[in-house]
Amino acid sequence: MTPKHHEKNNVKGQSSTSPKYIFVTGGVMSGLGKGILSSSISVLLEARGYTVAPIKIDGYLNVDAGTMNPIEHGEVFVLDDGTECDMDLGNYERFLGKSLNTENSLTTGRIMQRVIQKERRGEYLGKTVQMIPHVTGEIKQWIKRTAKNSGADFVVTEIGGTVGDLENQMFIEAARELHSEEPGKNVAFVHLTLVPVMGVVGEQKSKPTQHSIKELQHLGIQPDIIVARSEKMLDKKIIQKIKLFGDVDHVISDPDLKSIYEGPVFFENEGLMTAIEDTLGITKKEANTKDWKNFIDSLLDGEKTLTIAITGKYTQLHDAYTSIFESLSHASAKNKVRYKLKWVETTDLSYDDAKKALSGVDGIIVPGGFGSRGVEGKINCVRYARENNLPFLGLCYGMQIATIEYARNVCGLNGANTPEVDEKTPHPVIHVMESQKGIDNLGGTMRLGAYPAELQKGTLVHELYGKDNITERHRHRYEVNPEYIKALENKGIIFSGKSPSGDLMEFLELPKHRFFVATQAHPEFKSRPLLPHPLFDGFVRACSTKKG
């Protein structure tokens, strides 16, 4: 295959209002920031009055990210409709300030599943089912269907991994075919590569980028725009060299920034959107980024720095808690403070150890998780927070941990636990939800997605949300055991939010505490830069207020 030229005649009958497609690919190595680049492009398009539908493509054979270990793959992000997906979908939601759905997440597993199901139903009319055209055709249909159903002006598709990866070849080929089939200037390719600096000579090297462009060209795609990741701005001679050897008109610097949220404003100033407008032949418009700039100023100019402790077993891979970090950033900007993290590994953590670990911190978060490792250490951390009036926020498993701690140390229910940790516990204050009993498969079987809750008036949670009824996203199998609710309430816990039926405890709080709130949900999935989540906003505000 050879690269196609981008000047094509309009196909007869093709609407002039058909959507434009932007593909973001990566080269040299993973982790360069394709998700942030794709998100920034999407923000700048919407800042010009366009509508955008983002798609994240992952080459793995898993149908979704739900069964993948966070240590291996990072955070599992959950959408309103229950889709378990890559953490880059979280970036898209945060940058665009809107909720996405299952159409915005595509994996090799999902495509193969659809192709095989069609073959079993006989939909290919006896033909030999092949990678081309059937798998690539299914990929193109997915992208076009997403464009149609969303009504978006632009579809920004990030192809995960790097060019040359075996698992990405069908997606690259589908993008090439789509470009070949689309009329006029309807498709643009933005390629993110690495320009390393040799430590000995301190010189930026363009050779990895040149090889990456050649690899893309060998697959039939000529990139329109090169975004080059490096520690500092690209030297002019490097830009010219990349343009010459890559046969590309637009090369954009992508240096280290203080915050990922600087991306849209930085790329706007560097002319990325001008390059996209030239490539796609669209009218140049001025972007309205005033609110975004104000947020960045607030984010970077905090008056004081808080120390927030996070407990858990994934402390060796911070990507497992990305949405929590970003939620803290959003709330910190609103409250005009900064924050730094203190990681607390809870495996084999005694109460005395917890005292030492949490001494001097301004607040503590116990995040979601699964399994028994580190549970006793988490319980000791929650106990310390409760007894020392330290702001505490429990998320999902964190609410279950808080319930166990209170049952043991306040209600006197010795041995209280969750069957997830101790099947023989005498007091299962946490138990498996009725809807989860008898389920064998792990993938996509938890209580997933957005569920409603009714908030009790006069409580802190109700005050924070400012409304009676809310929805939050969930990802769990266990819940507070209804048989123990009265015993817990009699000793002071307030279950300040419940499911509409009243049988599922969604929030708990302690009224005489500075801030002791836990939720069975994952509020971190719904926080946005320009609209911090109420729970994180309240938590950070409590952390920044002197103990009185």
Rounded-to-integer distance, Cα 193 and Cα 229, Å: 6
- Residues 497, 455: Cα–Cα separation, whole Å: 4
Q: How far apart are alpha carbons 522 and 484 in whole angstroms?
A: 23
Per the CB < 8 A criterion, the answer to whether 221 and 3 are in contact is: yes
Closest CA to 78 of 65, 67, 95: 65
| Beta-carbon-side half-sphere exposure of residue 148 (alpha carbons within 13 Å) | 7
**Active-site pick, 513, 524, 533, 543:** 524
What is the helix (H) or strand (E) element at residue 276, kind and residue range?
helix 272-280
- Give the whole-angstrom CA distance, residue 375 versus residue 371: 8
Residues 333, 337: Cα–Cα separation, whole Å: 6
Taking a C-beta distance cutoff of 8 angstroms, is the pair 210, 224 a contact?
A: no
Which of 396, 479, 513, 533 is catalytic? The answer is 396
List the catalytic residue out of 179, 330, 513, 522.
522
Looking at 54-168, list the stretches that DSSP marks H as alpha helix, in order from N- to C-terminal side. Answer: 70-73, 88-96, 108-120, 136-150
The helix (run of H) or strand (run of E) holding residue 329 is: helix 322-334
330 catalytically annotated: no
| Residue 231: active-site member | no
Q: For residue 526, which amino acid is it?
A: K
Give 87's DSSP letter. T
Q: What is the largest CA-CA distance in the chain?
A: 78
Range list of β-strands (E), 231-362? 250-254, 305-312, 338-345
Cβ atoms of 430 and 480 closer than 8 Å: yes
Q: Is 85 considered catalytic here?
A: no
Report in angstroms the alpha-carbon separations of 9 from 183, 220, 249. Answer: 6, 19, 21
Which two tokens mark 128? 């030999």
- The set of catalytic residues is 396, 522, 524
